[in-house]
Chains A and B, each alone.
Chain A
Amino acid sequence: MTLAVETTEITTLKVQLLLAEGWFTACDLSALHPGRGAAALLPDGRQAALFRDRAGRLYAIDNRDPFTGAAVLSRGLTGTHEGRPFVASPLLKQRFDLANGECLDDASVRVTSYAVRAA
């Protein structure tokens, strides 16, 4: 497994996720485009879907779509529904709250969400 080497340039903001072991650096902030996601590989082999909205807010949830098993949530379309930011799975279109991972279309389903920051 090849993880991207961290650059030391202080001017470049990094997207970081809070994992059990502490803040994990996923990528440069500039790698995230407003309104679209990207997938990051976590040290334990799990995957996170990272998002940035047009106001610059960051979100991270599990990349795996619980309805299909495929790791594709990072490739969904984002939006807001009644004030809640969400991503719609590109496969069967269920929407997931980006802040807490809750499925908007089926309250019994939830994916992991991560605290995330640009630092």
Chain B
Amino acid sequence: MTDSPGATPTIVLVGHGMVGQRFLEALAERGLTATHRVVVLCEEPRPAYDRVQLTSYFSGRTAEELSMTDREFIDGHGIELYVGDPARTIDRAAKKVTAGSGRVFAYDTLVLATGSYPFVPPVPNKDAEGCFVYRTIEDLLAIEAYAKRARVGAVVGGGLLGLEAAGALKGLGLATHIVEFAPRLMPVQVDDGGGAALLRTVEGMGLTVHTGVGTQEIVAGPEGAVTGMKLSDGRELAVDMVVFSAGVRPRDQLARDCGLTVGERGGIAVDERCRTVTDPHVFAIGECALAVDGRVYGLVAPGYEQAETAAATIASGEAAFVGADLSTKLKLLGVDVASFGDAHGTAEDCLDVVYSDSRSGLYKKLVIGRDGTLLGGILVGDAEAYGTLRALTGSVPPVSPESLVLPAQAGSEVRLGPSALPDEAIICSCHNVSKGTIRGAVTEHSCTSLPEVKKCTRAGTGCGSCLKVLGQLVDAELEASGVEVEKGLCGCFDRTREELYEIVLTLRIASYRELLDRYGRDGARGGEGCEVCKPAVGSIIASLAPTIGASGYVLDGEQAALQDTNDHFLANLQKNGSYSVVPRIPGGEIAPEKLIVIGEIARDFGLYTKITGGQRIDMFGARAEQLPLIWARLVDAGFESGHAYGKSLRTVKSCVGSTWCRYGVQDSVRMAIDLELRYRGLRSPHKLKSAVSGCARECAEAQSKDFGVIATAGGWNLYVGGNGGATPRHADLLAQDLSDAELVRLIDRFLMFYIRTADRLERTSTWLERIPGGLDHVRDVVVHDTLGICDELEELMRAHVAHYRDEWAETVNDPEKLARFVSFVNAPDTPDPVVAFVPERDQIKPDLPLLAIGMRPADDVLEGSTQR
């Protein structure tokens, strides 16, 4: 079958990788998809995905989540995408490409974006069963499957990708070796000093490193599977699987076969327009191209720039690609390593500024030109300054270079804010976004938050290493344009909730007054505080109560005065001044006897009853003075507080699960009850909701919860950051196939980390969107323990669980506490005359006309919600 071009000119793209996809977007942005037929040949079984984030597959990101394109984009622009159909031959004379399927496409313009292939050194048995490369999702799936029956793994190559692969093997539970031919790890990015610091850190994580040795041979057993590897120094390692990560080579075979010029060491030679030097109708972009500066770039950012250049050239614009930045930062291994600019100091006459502390694995080097220009650098162990330094590269920093690398303890470190950067400074090198563009997003496009700026400029949506600086920049710009980004909690405290949490925890301050008098704003000390900070601090004290030695009972002493009115009455205030009562029904499971008790109580007190959206029963219309009587009966029948009034755990909804449901693969009800009982009473920045579903059909809607659990054949998947409510958000997968114990441990850490760092009234969804590094950061902290705080987080949760007591049981047994449950101090038995009811549908409702007497209309407000 031959496809002949019609009147519309045809662009054929070979390779739908990261750069290929970016090229399609660039075509679309320039309107070329409307004027051209665009054909894409994609060899892999799936359309373009985020290869840079490939390793995050092992920390739970699914293949779908890695995808970089969607049907809407492809279809919407009329792009013909042939998945799983590689180009086989190119006939340049006839201007035709033949695909594996036999389809033939005539082109006017051909763009090659075939990427690279992993280089496998030609050692004996390199193709034995158990040998892998690390490039595609299929590679990862194969590694994951094989690792299930392996104990020891080795990675050949200690470069950027090798370390990522090694981290992945370790994460799969394998004892892991790294074999690197060069005398140090990451030889391209770091120098000897940096390599030494890196080595210590990597070994400290339990990986075994062999540098300065080559792989001589893979040893295979009688069945043909890997059993070991021989090293050039004569040693032999017993290993069950080997991952080669010894560099990549451009995929230029197709180009060679059709007579295009390739470089001596590979790569399709192109000019600065990304046009092949041989044929003006053929372009090459991305990792398969040999750029005009003689380099083949192995990073995505230069590839993106080439994609833009090629698209602009096809649109007959003026664009050129003459070279790009090689800055990189290691992801996911939990080690901070970054190198940028001229990291090895190759420029003439340049000087090094080095700070090294081998004990703590710190190494920082800056390369400075004669005139003081920052040329590049290497950061190992602490890459905090990476974003700012990278952006400053090429200019003279406004402060002395030494002060940029000295650690904070040395007292002289200068925190160079983003304000020091010039407008041209590139903040996000993945997408080539300058500081000026980011500022413009705020000033001209009226973005008012980090997520909006990300969406508008694309900055921060690649490797994520610029997010920190990006966040600072957005804040600074918002502030400058008069948008208030006052970070203080309220008029009484100029510190954030997170800072107050740290103060309370570290200094064991269990009193609001003490906190206000010592850490409040000048004018607020000694004062009364306000309705914002009182409950916020009350909540912090309650969350940390057992650890800081405060009472765990929210109505004790001074704490009582801090609680929001609902917590103060342990019930939810309704519009006419009456209250609702919600007993806890863990997992939504309730025995008939208890249902009857609820029915009897509601009948005896004349309460309105309703099944809530949270799988429990709400009784409305109780007067303040009736609450103790109602609760005495509930407590007696074995009920406890449902905390419907608290910023704390609400419900853990469940589906019926494997006990009854024909599809269920785990006992979701049991797990929901366990989780609800574990986290009940935990005071947090905002309410917490959860759900457990027994299989992927998700009847419990776990993906709309702060933490949601979905059963799998192998255990449980944990999702976090979901939200229903005003701004719904689907939860993100945090980790997969967890055992019961692993699940609980991760939730413990996740919740405590959230409680520690969130703002007041910030649900997990908004928190996850706001904190620098987002989901990846949270995963690093709670799954990989990169901050080393997981033990503490778990300990805090253990203390909470151990000290939990039902606050209603405590209250009904304490006459002094019961004193507050009266209508009037001077007439405790007289009901509030404003609380009156009228009948409706066989139940009661508030007498609204009675309320309306003397009332003024008010604008609707969403109770307790944060601005988004």
Contact = CB atoms under 8 A, between A and B. Distances in A.
Contacts of B528: 35, 53-54, 78-80, 85
B565 A76 contact: yes
B824 A64 contact: no
B534 interface: yes
A71 B577 contact: yes
A3 B826 CA distance: 6
A50 B825 contact: yes
Interface string B503-526: 000000000010000000001100
Contact of A67 (B568, B569, B577, B856): B856
A112 B10 CA distance: 80
B830 interface: yes
A33 B861 contact: no
B529 A68 contact: no
A85 B528 CA distance: 8
A58 interface: no
Contacts of B850: 69
Contacts of A90: 564-566, 573
B856 A66 contact: yes
Interface in A43-82: 45, 47, 50, 53-54, 64, 66-72, 75-82
Given A33-B560, A75-B568, A80 B529 contact: yes
B276 to A, nearest CB: 67
A94 interface: yes
A71 B568 contact: no
B855 to A, nearest CB: 4
A106 B790 CA distance: 48
Contacts of A3: 826-827
Contact of A66 (B576, B834, B855): B855
A90 B576 CA distance: 11
Given A27-B825, A69-B855, A34 B530 contact: no
B205 interface: no
A59 B823 CA distance: 19
A4 interface: yes
B826 A72 contact: no
Contacts of A27: 825-826
A68 B826 contact: no
Nearest to A108: B856
A71 B535 CA distance: 22
B479 to A, nearest CB: 23
Contacts of A76: 531, 565
A109 B857 CA distance: 11
Interface string B817-836: 00100011111111011110
A54 B576 CA distance: 30
A33 B561 contact: yes
Contacts of A26: 825-826
Contacts of B827: 1-4, 40-41
B854 interface: yes
A4 B575 contact: no
Contacts of A109: 856
Contact of A79 (B534, B573, B819): B534
A47 B823 CA distance: 10
B591 interface: no
A116 interface: no
Contact of B858 (A4, A67, A81): A67
Contacts of B577: 70-72
B851 interface: yes
A92 interface: yes
Contact of A4 (B530, B823, B826): B826
Given A66-B854, A66-B856, A77 B531 contact: yes
A54 B530 contact: no
A2 B564 contact: no
Contacts of B830: 1-2, 41
A31 B566 CA distance: 20
A40 B824 contact: yes
Given A54-B513, A80-B530, A81-B530, A40 B825 contact: yes
B595 interface: no
Given A4-B825, A39-B824, A72 B573 contact: yes
B491 A70 contact: no
Nearest to A45: B833
**Most chain A beta-carbon contacts within 10 A, residue among B524, B824, B835:** B824
B824 A77 contact: no
Nearest to B532: A79
Contacts of B561: 33-36
**Most chain A beta-carbon contacts within 10 A, residue among B560, B575, B576, B825:** B825
Contacts of B828: 2, 4
Contacts of B819: 31
A82 B826 CA distance: 33
B867 to A, nearest CB: 14
B853 interface: yes
Contact of B531 (A2, A34, A93): A93
Given A71-B834, A90-B565, A47 B824 contact: yes
B93 interface: no
B145 interface: no
A75 B853 contact: no
A27 B491 CA distance: 33
B575 to A, nearest CB: 6
Given A64-B834, A79-B528, A92-B861, A36 B568 contact: yes
Contacts of A34: 561
Contacts of A85: 528
A79 B524 CA distance: 10
B527 interface: yes
Interface in A74-119: 75-83, 85, 88, 90-95, 109
Contacts of B575: 68, 70, 91
B565 A71 contact: no
Contacts of A36: 560-561, 568
**Most chain A beta-carbon contacts within 10 A, residue among B513, B576, B826, B855:** B826
Nearest to A26: B826
B1 interface: no
Contacts of A33: 560-561
A70 B851 contact: yes
A70 B565 CA distance: 14
Contacts of A94: 858
B855 A68 contact: yes
Interface in B409-459: none
B852 interface: yes
Contacts of A75: 565, 568-569, 573
Interface in B527-558: 527-531, 534-535, 558
A85 B575 CA distance: 25
Nearest to B562: A35
A79 B825 contact: no
B825 A38 contact: yes
Given A34-B561, A36-B568, A77 B535 contact: yes
B834 A70 contact: yes
Nearest to A88: B531
Contacts of A77: 530-531, 534-535, 564-565
**Most chain B beta-carbon contacts within 10 A, residue among A67, A72, A88:** A72
A55 B390 CA distance: 55
Interface in B803-851: 819, 823-830, 832-835, 850-851
Given A1-B830, A38-B825, A69-B854, 7 more contacts: A35-B561, A41-B823, A64-B834, A70-B575, A77-B565, A80-B529, A93-B861
Interface of A: 1-4, 26-27, 31, 33-36, 38-41, 45, 47, 50, 53-54, 64, 66-72, 75-83, 85, 88, 90-95, 109
11 contacts: A3-B826, A4-B828, A36-B568, A39-B824, A45-B833, A50-B825, A70-B576, A72-B577, A79-B492, A79-B527, A93-B531
Interface of B: 491-492, 513, 523-524, 527-531, 534-535, 558, 560-562, 564-566, 568-569, 573, 575-577, 819, 823-830, 832-835, 850-856, 858, 861
Give the 6 A-B CB pairs with smallest separation, nearest first.
Answer: A79-B530, A69-B851, A35-B561, A90-B565, A69-B855, A77-B531
